[in-house]
Structure 1
Amino acid sequence: MTSNEKTSPIDALRAQYEELAELAGSLAHEIKNPLSVIHMNIDLLSEDLADWDSPQSRRSIERVNIVREQCERMQGLLRDFLRYARLRDIDLVSGSLNDQVDTVLRAYKAEAAQRGIEVKRYLDSDLPSIALHSDSLQAALMNLVKNALEATGRGGQLMARTYSTQTSVALDLIDSGRGVDNNTIMHMFEPFYTTKEGGSGLGLPTARKIIEAHGGRISVQSEVGRGTKFTLQFPVLKRIV
């Protein structure tokens, strides 16, 4: 850049954001190491206290367990944050959205059965290919499916449907769960916003970042007491002739 060229406000803001994201990611990584040491020593302390059988040792064990739980919560939060902060450009290859959906649904087959939830799939066999990164896209889909199962009671349903539109390849994930209100819909993709006890509030924001990194978009419709529908749309992979 020459001395006569000026940085646009948008470019300056983007550079500032990337610098802050890099700094936050480095800080989270540095916190992760001593936190692991604390967790390990809490486990060792718990083993030592287990050799004593007294009212005082039992009270101490309860307090140690509280500290362990909070350490595990912080480790989970840091893990989710690092995944969110480090998501950058990813290498995309031609692939099948159906295959990704099928892999994720099979991974949650046992949990769905245990919860008494019927999983229905309507996957378009003529679906065009999309550009995808398998591991990250499956991570995003797993978050959505996991949330749907947790929101759906016994006897409920989860439906996965893929189809083509004029401009995209789409996936609907529809559950018959408890649904969410409009205020939650407005904020659910904001980092650290959560209505789930113990949640990091980074699952849905990370899922959206992954989908957008695929050139796609995600939208949601929900009604309290009726269920929720997430729609994912991806650009069709153009064929080279």
Structure 2
Amino acid sequence: MHYEESGHKKKSVNDAERLLKNAHEDAERMIRIAREDAERLLKNAHEDAERMIRIAREDAERLLKNAHEDAERMIRIAREDAERLLKNAHEESMQENVKETKQPNQQDESGMSLKKDKLHTVGEMASRLAHDLQNPLTIIKNTVEILKIQQPNLDVKTKDHYEKIERAVTKMTQQIKDVLNYVRTSNLQAEYVSLLSILKNVLNDLKIPEYIKIILPDEDVMLYGDPKQLEIVFSNLILNSIQAIEKKGKVMIQASDNEYFTAIDIIDNGHGIEKDNLSHIFEPLFTTKQTGTGLGLASCKAIIENHGGNIDCSSIVGKGTVFTVKLPKTEGIKQ
């Protein structure tokens, strides 16, 4: 009897050990399968993410290339049309000087009206092309920002690609702004406005390098003019000063006024402007920059003169440059 009970207990222990062993093996097999599945899913997810990033980068680079080619074509067409109009205007002026006429005033007005219509047509074309380019640039910019948020731990090569795209978009956006600012001919909406408020709006939109210090006027002054148009002027002038500074430097803005005029000086300690170029810097399409449109300073001159003011520049090579804007304190705006 005792032998039977002992044998039964031994069998039960063996069965329990076998079940435990089988359960352990099953658990290990399930863990191994789960691990393999997880690794496979993780690998696939990683490959999918890399593929999505690669496709997005290729799409962004393709859009950027197309937009860049369109921008260059637009600027080239606008420059060629402007040069042709200037050449025709010069030839017509020479012909009018040697031609006798009984109604000079009427012919002058007719000629000026024709030239104005031609410039207006070129302006509309350039404005439409520039506007069409803004949409793909906005898409590229937003795509890059989303990808950077989704992939915070980017490798150096991918991060460099994104930064190149962002720099190219910024450059092209500025070129488009130059063209639009130059060809727009809307009437000015004049009001009294704070200089400091204009400058603060401008600086909020500009990307200021860490090595450049911007010094604002100690005291505010009131200007009479179109705030949006004046922001374009000071944005162009400050950006021009920033681009002239290669290393550590500063851009100082000073203001003074009298009974009739307010004068604003934008002073930088950049590389300066060559004497031969100084007399041409406000001419349309003139530029010494490899990527410039030659329209930024021309826009500034046109806007300030429409306000009844004037703009001037003095410079010493190796020392820096001073742009001086003078605006009337009362209504001197050309409508």
TM-score (norm 1): 0.70
> What is the letter of the counterpart of residue 271 of structure 2?
R
Cα 1:94–1:21 shift into 2, 3 Å: same
Matched, 1:14 2:112: yes
> Number of matched residues?
201
> What is the letter of the counterpart of residue 113 of structure 2?
A
Q: Deviations over 1:13-55 (max 9, x none)?
A: 431221011111233356558878999xxxxxxxxxxxxxxxx
SS at match of 2:208: helix
1:179: how far off? 0.2
Tell me the distance in 2 between the aligned counterparts of 1:27 and 1:152.
Answer: 35
**Which structure dedicates a bigger proportion of its chain to helix?**
2
1:212: how far off? 1.5
User: Which residue of structure 1 aligns with residue 201 of structure 2?
Assistant: 103
Q: Mark the runs of 5 or more structure 2 residues left unpaired by the alignment.
A: 1-101, 138-167
User: Which residue of structure 1 aligns with residue 325 of structure 2?
Assistant: 232
Matched, 1:181 2:278: no
The two structures, once aligned, show a CA RMSD in angstroms of: 3.3
CA contact (8 A) 2:127 2:183 kept: no
**Which structure dedicates a bigger proportion of its chain to strand?**
1
1:209: how far off? 1.2
Cα 1:6–1:205 shift into 2, 3 Å: same
Q: Map residues 1-241 of structure 1 onto 2, 5 A cutoff.
A: 7-29=105-127, 31=129, 80-108=178-206, 111-112=208-209, 114=210, 116-125=211-220, 127=221, 129-237=222-330
Higher Cα Rg: structure 1 or 2? Answer: 2
- The structure, 1 or 2, with the larger RCO (C-alpha pairs under 8 Å, 6+ apart) is 1
SS at match of 2:188: coil
Tell me the distance in 1 between the aligned counterparts of 2:327 and 2:134.
Answer: 39
Cα 1:38–1:140 shift into 2, 3 Å: closer
CA contact (8 A) 2:260 2:330 kept: no
Q: Deviations over 1:63-106 (max 9, x none)?
A: xxxxxx8xx96x86565334312224312112222321233235
TM-score (norm 2): 0.52
Q: Mark the runs of 5 or more structure 1 residues left unpaired by the alignment.
A: 40-68
User: Which residue of structure 2 aligns with residue 62 of structure 1?
Assistant: none
Q: Identical aligned pairs, as a percentage?
A: 26
> What is the letter of the counterpart of residue 185 of structure 1?
L
CA contact (8 A) 1:87 1:209 kept: no
Cα 1:36–1:141 shift into 2, 3 Å: closer
> What is the letter of the counterpart of residue 111 of structure 1?
I
